[in-house]
Amino acid sequence: MMITRYRVYSDHLQQKFGEKVYKLPINLPGTCPNRDGTLGTGGCIFCDAEGAGFECLPNTLSIEKQIEKNKNFFKKRFNARKFISYFQAFTNTYMCLDEFKDNIQAAAKDPDIIGISISTRPDCINDLYLDFLLEIKEQKGLNINIELGLQTVNYHTLSRVNRGHTLAEFIDALLRIKARGFESVAHVILNLPGDDMLDVIENAKIISALGVNYVKLHSLYIVKGTKLGNMFEQGLVELISLDQYIERVVTFIEYLDPKIVIQRLVGKGPQGNLHFCNWSTSWWKIKRRIEEVLEEKDTYQGRKFNYLNGKVLKVKNI
Ligand code: SF4
């Protein structure tokens, strides 16, 4: 029987809350400072117009309605009882404070909601917004979790893919989130053009050193009509093979602090309009292959997590 060689999110939720917990995606008609002209207009070179909200209900529905519809689906299908409101698409802290408060209050209303998860950019984290979340957390006893799109710690790559922020903003956001005792998630793409295995290892090391709670891995997908899509058509994008990608994921896992929970090992990508997604292989086959390689190599999460807290002193046994 295959043993689990990394920390699986669903198991973690089950242990933490005593039963299965389901995330209810909320889609806001928002935008992003990297698309509306504040930082730039083109967005990240891989971003499509959906702003990573392709699995959500239409954003014309109210937050309450989206929660109700998604909740009923999970209740009927899985007999679910506990839920996390998940602000998934676009940049969910990029709005005025009053609007942010209204959204959070709407998402916290339902008595079956036990937590709120907010996806955003590292440069859209601000103390006033976090202080409000702290109030809500204390009033309602909710679990607050903030998901930051880091993508890579390599700030040269961040510049090349036009993220509009560097590693510094991620570190700043993370420290502010941690100071209030919220959980954090780092979203990482391990095959961005220009990144190599050294970057993969440094991703794992910096995420571990900063005490991030969860990671979410995605491979790069190339949507037609995006800047990256146009580069791909011109033959300007070099992609690694699936085997090389799997090797990167396995190495990332080896360097990752064993306490960090892996929320997602493989992303699904949007349907249609694609140049490239997951090597035209279903996400679950890639996931299974990663698990097989961990097994074949007899390796596991944190096997190479030996680099913090004065590694040299430990090696010399001083
Ligand atoms: S930060 Fe997200 S929503 Fe904004 S341009 Fe980049 S991928 Fe798109």
pLDDT at 218: 93
Q: Region 234-249: what's the mean pLDDT?
A: 97
Where in the sequence is the domain holding 300, given as residue range(s)?
9-316
Count of domains for the chain = 1
- Give the model's pLDDT for residue 55: 61
Cα 43 to middle of ligand 1, angstroms: 6
Asked, for residue 4, whether it belongs to a domain, the answer is no
* Nearest ligand 1 atom, CA 32: 4
Q: How far is the CA of 133 from the centre of ligand 1 (A)?
A: 23
Q: Check pocket membership of 44 for ligand 1, CB cut-off 6 A.
A: yes
33, part of any domain: yes
Res. 50 pLDDT band, cuts 50 70 90: low
Q: Is residue 135 part of a domain?
A: yes
**Is 226 domain-assigned?**
yes
Q: Is the CB of 221 under 6 A from ligand 1?
A: no
In a domain, 166, yes or no: yes
Comparing 51-55, 101-105, 147-151, 294-298, the range with the smallest average pLDDT is: 51-55
Tell me which of 54-63, 175-184, 252-261, 266-275 is least confident: 54-63
| Mean of per-residue pLDDT scores for the chain | 93
267 lines ligand 1 (CB under 6 A): no
> Per residue in 190-226, pLDDT tens?
999 999 999 999 999 999 999 999 999 999 999 999 9
For ligand 1, the distance from its centroid to the CA atom of residue 163, given in whole angstroms, is 7
125 found inside a domain: yes
- Find the 48 Cα to ligand 1 centroid distance in Å: 8
pTM for the full model?
0.94
Q: CATH number for the domain including 286?
A: 3.20.20.70
Give the closest residue (by CA) to ligand 1 atom 6. Answer: 44
What pLDDT score was predicted for residue 2?
57
pLDDT computed for residue 272 by the predictor: 80
Q: How far is ligand 1, taken at its centre, from the CA of residue 42, in Å?
A: 9
Q: Identify the pLDDT of residue 205.
A: 98
Give nearest CA residue, ligand 1 atom 8. 47
Mapping DSSP onto H, E and C, the string for the chain reads: CCCCCCCEHHHHHHHHHCCCEEEEEECCCCCCCCCCCCCCCCCCCCCCCCCCCCCCCCCCCCHHHHHHHHHHHHHHHHCCCEEEEEECCCCCCCCCHHHHHHHHHHHHCCCCEEEEEEEECHHHCCHHHHHHHHHHHHHHCCEEEEEEEEECCCHHHHHHCCCCCCHHHHHHHHHHHHHCCCEEEEEEECCCCCCCHHHHHHHHHHHHHCCCCEEEEECCCEECCCHHHHHHHCCCCCCCCHHHHHHHHHHHHHHCCCCCEEEECCCCCCCCCEEECHHHCCHHHHHHHHHHHHHHCCCCCCCCCCCCCCHHHHHHCC
Would you state the pLDDT for residue 91?
A: 87
More confident residue, 87 or 58: 87
Note whether residue 79 is domain-resident: yes
Residue 1 lies in a domain: no
